[in-house]
Structure formats: C-alpha cells, structure tokens
C-alpha cells in the first residue's frame, strides 16, 4: 500500500490534468462588453485596438523655445552668431495663423503646433534674448530637431493594444488621447463557490466549539477578485447527495466556473465527484493529481461549465486554486498570459519534494547583497494555515527532483 496516495490509484500529472481541464472550454466564445475607460483598468482587451487617428495630429514642438527655418541658423557659431527677430508666438491650444518669414522666429512652448514655414526648434536655453524681439543663436540645431511629427507617437492604422492584454494606467491615457472613450473588454468571469461539510459553520463560535469555521469561500473570493473575476457565494452545503446536486445545478446555471470546497478526500471520496457526474456531461475529467498539497483535487466539465472539486483543507484548497483555478479564470477572462509573479532566488537550505509528486514548498524570501534567498517556512503541513500566511510564495519541486540542494537558483511564485 502506498501511504502517499491516500487511496487514489490513478494520479494524473499536473500538466496533463491542467491541459485537459483547459481544453474543456476550448470552443467557448469569449463574453465581452463595451466599457468606458475609467472602468477598464486591469480589464482584458477583447478586440485589438487600432488607431483611427494620428497622434499628434499636427507637428509639435517638444521643448520651450523658438521655431525657425533651419537654413537661417545652420551656420551659427560662437564667433559668428545669428540674430533673428521674434515675430509671434504659437500658443498652446491655438495655431499660428501666418507663415514664418526668413530670418524670423516664432516663440513656442512644449506642445505648440509648429508654425508654417518653420522646420526646426531651438530650445530656449540655447539662445540669448536681447530686448523683447531679438534672439541670438550661437549654435544651431539639426534640421527638424525638437519636433514631434504628426503620427510619430501613434500612426493611424497601427495597433495600439493587442487582444488579450491587460489594460494598464498609461494605456487608458493613450486611448483617451486617440479619442477612444470606450473599449470592448472581456466580461469578468463569474465564479460560483460553495463548501460542503457537516462540521462547517459560518463564523467562530468560541474556542470550545467542536465545529470548523469555514474560510475557503472568503479566501477564494479574494483570489478570484484579484484575478478580475467575481464570486457568487452559494454558502455551506451539507454532506448529502441531494444538497450538493442542488447547489451544483444552481452553480452551473449562474456561473462560468464552479469551485466546490470539501468532500473530495478518502472518507467522502466519491461524494462530490458522484454528484458532478450526476449533474451533467462529461462530468469528472480528473480525480486525484500527482501534487502535494491538494492531491485529492478533482477537475470536471458539466455541460460546458468547468468545475473544480477542491480539498477542504485551506492550504490544499489554495494550491488547487492556484494550479487549476487561476489559469482557468485567466482563460475565461481572455488573458493571453496567466497573471503570476515569479522571482529568481537562491535556496537557503535543501528543499525536499515528494518523489513522483509536484511538491509546492512554501518559502519566505529575504533580500541580501547576493540577491533573494528562499527559506522554507517552518511547517509544511497542509493542515497549518500559517504555512501560507508566513510564506511570501512557493517553489514547485518537480516530480523527479526528490530534493533541490541548498544554494541552487529556483523560481519562487509569489502569493499575490
């Protein structure tokens, strides 16, 4: 008998399990909506955005100074300065009506539209002004210098934001400049969550209570929220087939993804899976994954809606979510990358994995002169929630590694 398997006989490799799970929504069409810019921060671009205008719309000065004809000043030197007459100003937000005559200059500010006739701008600090209307140049500029050309920032027809990209603060600015006030983004995935367990209660009932405070919905909601989804909280459900089936039917109807916490361990091993199979096709795709924690995780598809059966233990539920829930939400949200932060670090001590399992070892990070150092947190028991509270992230020890030696570079995935 193999202690490690806790009664699961056909454990699936993590990557295979994830691939079949993601494949189950392959033909699903992305749900999208038009949203005004201020609502689009961190949303995902659903249709690639093409510039319909040039930015800037006119040639503009990029410095405060004087717009001139290059031919007038190109030979200016300390020994043979050139003197021009200031004949006007191209004010911000206006256009200079005339044409710059020879041996004349027009005052410009950063952003001023280039006056007709001028082809270069000399910065204010490179000239000497004498009186109100005369300026002296001692060194020239290059032809066309200090000008931002029409369309140089964004040119009409070019892609501004690619499909699947997360919208950042500066992207909103670029869109607004282009006259785009709404964009089509992916709808936020709806994730239904419920927990099963007769021992579970909604809140703390004192330290002499034998019952367990249910925390997975709170933690999962927060993670779902971080990823841009929103949670439909379907409560705590008793460990009874009819109750679970009823909750699951409702969940599948309301959401794009269902997370069921609990009811996946050996004792109750087939309770949630058998309910899943009873509700729709194809039902369970995977039950039992070669990972630690969260080995009893189940992955399913019920009439097109992906379902994850997460272990009830909070640490295991977290890893089942990170490994399967996060990429599924990213895909449902149309993201072209799964949002996660990884940092390279050096191991402070050997990091032990379970042979044959992908082992998620929780680590703390410490900055040193030689870079980040990763140290496993004291307890790695999945029953210890402080193992993920004290940790900054985790190292995934590969199935065939056994142990990562001290002093080795590893990738640490941060808890967000």
Find the binding residues for a second copy in span 165-194 (CB under 8 A). Answer: 168-174, 176-179, 181
**CB 138: neighbour CB atoms within 10 A?**
15
Residue numbers 358-377 binding a second copy by CB under 8 A:
371
Does the protein bind a second copy through residue 36 (CB under 8 A)? no
Taking the C-alpha atoms of residue 285 and residue 353, their distance in angstroms, rounded to an integer, is 26
Does the protein bind a second copy through residue 57 (CB under 8 A)? yes
Residues facing 263 on adjacent strands: none
State which of residues 267, 281, 370, 400 lies at the interface with a second copy (CB under 8 A).
267
Rounded to the nearest 5 percent, the helix, strand and coil shares of the chain are: 20, 35, 45
**Nearest-5° angle of CA 157, CA 163, CA 166?**
115
Both tokens of 92, joined, read 């911000």
Both tokens of 224, joined, read 């779902």
The site map against a second copy for 59-98 (x = CB under 8 A) is: -x-xxx--------------------------xxxxx---
Q: Which is nearer to a second copy, 47 or 152 (CB)?
A: 152
- Residue 39 vs residues 44, 51, 79, 313: alpha-carbon distances, Å: 11, 20, 59, 36
Residue numbers 206-235 binding a second copy by CB under 8 A:
206-213, 215-216, 218-223, 225-226
Shortest distance (Å) from residue 301 CB to a second copy: 26
Residues facing 314 on adjacent strands: none
Taking the C-alpha atoms of residue 338 and residue 321, their distance in angstroms, rounded to an integer, is 13
Shortest distance (Å) from residue 283 CB to a second copy: 24
The site map against a second copy for 132-171 (x = CB under 8 A) is: ----------------x---xxx-----xx------xxxx
Euclidean distance between the first and final Cα of the chain, in Å? 38
Shortest distance (Å) from residue 414 CB to a second copy: 9
Peptide bond into 293 cis (omega under 30): yes
Q: Which is nearer to a second copy, 64 or 74 (CB)?
A: 64
Residue numbers 327-346 binding a second copy by CB under 8 A:
341, 343-344
Does the protein bind a second copy through residue 199 (CB under 8 A)? yes
Shortest distance (Å) from residue 243 CB to a second copy: 16
Shortest distance (Å) from residue 205 CB to a second copy: 8
Q: Which is nearer to a second copy, 34 or 222 (CB)?
A: 222
Query: Can you give the three-state secondary structure of 172-212, one letter per residue?
Result: HHHHHHCCCCEEEEECCCEEEEEEECCCEECCCCCCCCCCE
Residue numbers 271-310 binding a second copy by CB under 8 A:
none
Q: Which is nearer to a second copy, 38 or 131 (CB)?
A: 38
Does the protein bind a second copy through residue 124 (CB under 8 A)? yes
State which of residues 38, 78, 80, 142 lies at the interface with a second copy (CB under 8 A).
38
Tell me which stretch binds a second copy (CB under 8 A): 21-29, 123-131, 244-252, 326-334: 123-131
Helical H segments across 138-288, by residue range: 169-177, 216-226, 241-254, 271-279
């Amino acid at each position: 008998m193999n202690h490690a398997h806790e009664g699961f006989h056909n454990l699936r490799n993590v990557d295979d399990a994830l691939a079949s799970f993601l494949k189950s929504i392959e033909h699903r069409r992305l749900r999208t909506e038009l949203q005004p810019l201020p609502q689009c921060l961190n949303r995902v671009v659903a249709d690639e955005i093409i510039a319909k205008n040039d930015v800037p719309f006119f040639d503009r000065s990029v410095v405060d100074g004087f717009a001139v004809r290059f031919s007038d000043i190109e030979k200016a030197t300390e020994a043979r300065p050139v003197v021009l007459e200031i004949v006007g100003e191209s004010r911000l937000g206006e256009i200079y009506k005339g044409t710059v005559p020879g041996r004349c200059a027009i005052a410009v500010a950063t952003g001023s539209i280039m006056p007709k006739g001028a082809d270069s701008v000399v910065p204010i600090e490179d000239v000497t002004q004498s009186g109100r209307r005369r300026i002296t140049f001692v060194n020239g500029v290059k032809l066309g210098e200090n000008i931002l050309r029409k369309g140089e920032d964004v040119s009409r027809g070019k892609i501004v934001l690619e499909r699947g990209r997360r919208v950042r603060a500066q992207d909103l600015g670029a869109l607004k400049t282009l006259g785009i006030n709404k964009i089509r983004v992916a709808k936020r995935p709806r994730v239904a969550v419920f927990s099963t367990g007769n021992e579970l209660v909604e809140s703390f009932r004192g330290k002499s209570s034998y019952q367990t405070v249910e925390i997975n919905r709170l933690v999962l909601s927060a993670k779902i929220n971080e990823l841009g989804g929103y949670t439909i909280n379907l409560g705590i459900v008793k460990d009874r087939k009819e109750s679970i089936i009823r909750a699951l039917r409702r969940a599948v109807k309301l959401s794009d993804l269902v997370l069921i916490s609990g009811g996946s361990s050996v004792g109750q091993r087939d309770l949630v899976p058998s309910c899943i199979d009873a509700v729709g096709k194809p039902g369970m795709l995977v039950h039992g994954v070669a990972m630690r924690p969260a080995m009893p995780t189940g992955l399913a598809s019920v009439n097109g809606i992906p379902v994850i059966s997460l272990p009830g233990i909070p640490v295991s539920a977290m890893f089942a979510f990170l490994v399967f829930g996060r990429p599924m939400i990213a895909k449902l949200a149309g993201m072209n990358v799964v949002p996660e932060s990884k940092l390279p670090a050096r191991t402070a001590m050997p990091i032990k994995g379970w042979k044959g399992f992908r082992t998620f070892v929780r680590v703390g990070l410490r900055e040193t002169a030689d870079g980040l150092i990763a140290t496993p947190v004291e307890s790695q028991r999945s029953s210890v929630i402080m193992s993920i509270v004290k940790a900054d992230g985790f190292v995934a020890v590969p199935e065939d590694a056994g142990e990562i030696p001290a002093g080795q570079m590893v990738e640490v995935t941060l808890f967000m």
